[in-house]
Amino acid sequence: MSAIEATRQCLAAIPGLRVNEDEPLAQHTRFGIGGPARLFAESAAREPFLEALRIVFDTGVPWTLIGGGTNLVVSDQGFDGVVLRYTGGAISGEGPLVQVEAGAVLQDLVDQSIARGLSGLHTMTGIPGGVGGAIYGNAGAYGHSIQESVARVWFFDGTALRSLTNAQCEFRYRESIFKAEKNWIIIAAELEMPCGDAATLKAEADAILDLRNRKYPPEMKCAGSIFKNLLLRDLAPAVREQIPSQVIREGKVPSAWFLEQVGGKGMRDGDIHVADYHANLIYNAGSGSARQVRAMIAELKKRVNQRFGIELEEEVQYVGFTQASRQAGQPVSLKTSV
């Protein structure tokens, strides 16, 4: 019996765990792209999910974890292993404290915090995905990030459930310790937020949501911004001198500005397009492929590097690609719409 078949049998025996073979991952990504997972296992209950993690850790089969799939580029060939997803979404708490499961929808957490008059997450309204992914990538918007609210994170390390304080999470711009420790799986978190006026927070959130929906329409098959913005202090003086002061926001320079300078707006490769109004937005206009997304990303990175000597870093995560193929990024000839 193969390792993957033995794993399937073990997973299928766990009550409360849904296990499917050859699950189309395109159904679980906002890009709407990706081949099948050899095995797909998900649960809304903590214990079945932890037991599934123990099994895949012990059997040694290839595995990966997904959440809402909002920032994933999944290979056209899919993933030849086990794809795990935790959908536990409980949110509770009193006063300034909120306890939340990693599988909770981020928007649900934002809405509940606003309703309770808790400030700090309202600027993240409209960001798709789950809470676990938001903590993993230290998601944020409009000058704030989730790290400001995180008090403690519980995670599974392959053997037991452990916790880290905010400082131990090593949060940085769009980074956390969990990006380095790939086998540490976020399970839950406790957040602490200052009090605010619920009506004021909702009004600010509604205005932000209106802007976001115009920039990233909910029906658009995209991953939001593809590249991280850059910290002004990290740029070479010769590059800083070229950047208009009005572009700089809170010490950061939008990647979109660099992409605009190299003709990124409106580029196309089949159904994979760069928005003609935002150079850091790649979307699937129909039946685009992961190969085309990767080629587009590689071409944009190459142009910016050649012009500015900067290596843009993706916010998106890759599933089903080898490290070598991710790094190769063979650029192809792309059309620019006019």
More confident residue, 255 or 332: 255
Looking at residue 126, what is its pLDDT?
Answer: 94
Rg of the chain over Cα atoms, rounded to whole angstroms, equals 20
- Is residue 154's pLDDT more than 70? yes
Q: Could you say which of 174, 268, 307, 326 is catalytic?
A: 174
Is 174 an active-site residue? yes
Note the pLDDT tens digit of each residue in 267-304. 999 999 999 999 999 999 999 999 999 999 999 999 99
Query: What is the rounded CA–CA span in Å between residue 88 and residue 123?
Result: 24
Instruction: Look at residue 327 and tell me whether its pLDDT is greater than 60.
Output: no
Closest CA to 267 of 283, 286, 287: 283
Q: Which of 23, 42, 101, 315 is catalytic?
A: 315
What average pLDDT does this structure show over 161-176? 96
pLDDT grade for 335, boundaries at 50, 70 and 90: very low
Exposed/middle/buried for residue 15 (C-beta within 10 Å: 0-12, 13-18, 19+): exposed
**pLDDT band at residue 15, thresholds of 50, 70 and 90?**
very high
| 135: nearest Cα among 94, 181, 95 | 181
- Would you say residue 337 has pLDDT above 60? no
**Nearest alpha-carbon partner for 228 in 328, 137, 136, 326:** 137
The pLDDT of residue 1: 80
pLDDT in tens, 95-130: 999 999 999 999 999 999 999 999 999 999 999 999
Question: Does the pLDDT value for residue 329 go beyond 80?
Answer: no
Q: Please state, in angstroms and rounded to a whole number, the distance separating the CA atoms of residues 31 and 301.
A: 20
pLDDT at residue 323, rounded to an integer: 47
pLDDT at 128: 92
pLDDT 10s digits, 184-228: 999 999 999 999 999 999 999 999 999 999 999 989 999 999 999
Give CA–CA dist 156/46, Å, rounded: 11
Of residues 82, 86, 77, the one with CA closest to residue 26 = 77
Q: Is 315 a catalytic residue?
A: yes
pTM for the model: 0.90
49-104 tens-digit pLDDT: 999 999 999 999 999 999 999 999 999 999 999 999 999 999 999 999 999 999 99
191 in Cβ contact with 152 (< 8 Å): no
pLDDT band at 246 (very low <50, low <70, confident <90, very high): very high
Q: In this model, does residue 14 exceed pLDDT 50? A: yes
Look at residue 333 and tell me whether its pLDDT is greater than 80.
no
pLDDT at 172 (0 to 100): 94
Q: Which is catalytic among the residues 225, 255, 303, 314? A: 225
Instruction: Name residue 130's amino acid.
Output: G
Q: Domains, the chain, ranges and CATH?
A: 3-86 (3.30.43.10), 91-200 (3.30.465.10), 218-336 (3.90.78.10)
